[in-house]
A = this chain, B = another copy of it.
Amino acid sequence: MKRKERAAETEAALKAAAKRVFAERGYLNTKIADITAEAGRAAGSFYNHFAGKEALLEALLADMATEGDSAASAPGHLSDFTDPEAVRQHIEVSVRLYREHAATIRAVQEAALVSENFAGTLARFAGSEMADILGHVTCVTDAGRRLPAPPETALRMVYSLVHAFLQIRRQPADALSDEEVTEALTRFVYRGLNGCDF
């Protein structure tokens, strides 16, 4: 079975090369030739494994999804969220996950910028990644605690924060209105200044 091994090896080399090159130059700036060169293969070799650049990116996404899912279901990932330390730990995991896959995520976003096709893909991924933070925020209303905004808005604010700090662009679909933006920023800045709510 040396033939399939060899093929698998080449495919893996192409994927790894793509990740490196995407991280360095960005998805849109990367030519197929860049990837094959980085992988040390001939130009045409690429098409033995992928239908095109988008297909390659989909493969990277699939890999990421399986990794991400296993990390999310790791033991002790979720616990008591009335404890600041627990909140911190929980968020650390999310941050790390995003950070590890930042290059691929950004590649998808660049792809979505140009190809209608990828617009939905990222939204799906982001949703699953953040599922527990979101659940966390929304369940607060059940407990009767005060939120800085209606649950749906708060949810999107958290999304925005993660994406912003990690420099990941969100999809227009869940854009906030001007009023929501003003409200959120006002509270954030005011609290920052005065250390309290109003």
Contacts and interface: CB of A to CB of B under 8 A. Distances in A.
Given A87-B186, A157-B192, A165-B180, 20 more contacts: A84-B186, A84-B190, A87-B189, A87-B190, A87-B193, A91-B182, A91-B185, A91-B186, A91-B189, A92-B178, A95-B185, A148-B195, A158-B189, A160-B164, A161-B161, A161-B185, A167-B169, A167-B172, A167-B175, A169-B169
B170 A113 contact: no
A196 B160 CA distance: 21
Q: Which 4 A-B pairs have the closest CB atoms?
A: A164-B164, A160-B164, A165-B181, A88-B186
Contacts of A54: none
Contacts of A190: 84, 87
Contacts of A88: 182, 186
Interface stretch (A7-15, A34-42, A67-75, A132-140): A132-140
Nearest to A160: B164
Interface in A79-109: 81-82, 84, 87-88, 91-92, 95-96, 99
Contact of A184 (B96, B161, B193): B161
Secondary structure class of chain A's binding surface, majority of residues: helix
A77 interface: no
B181 A95 contact: yes
Interface residues of A, number: 58
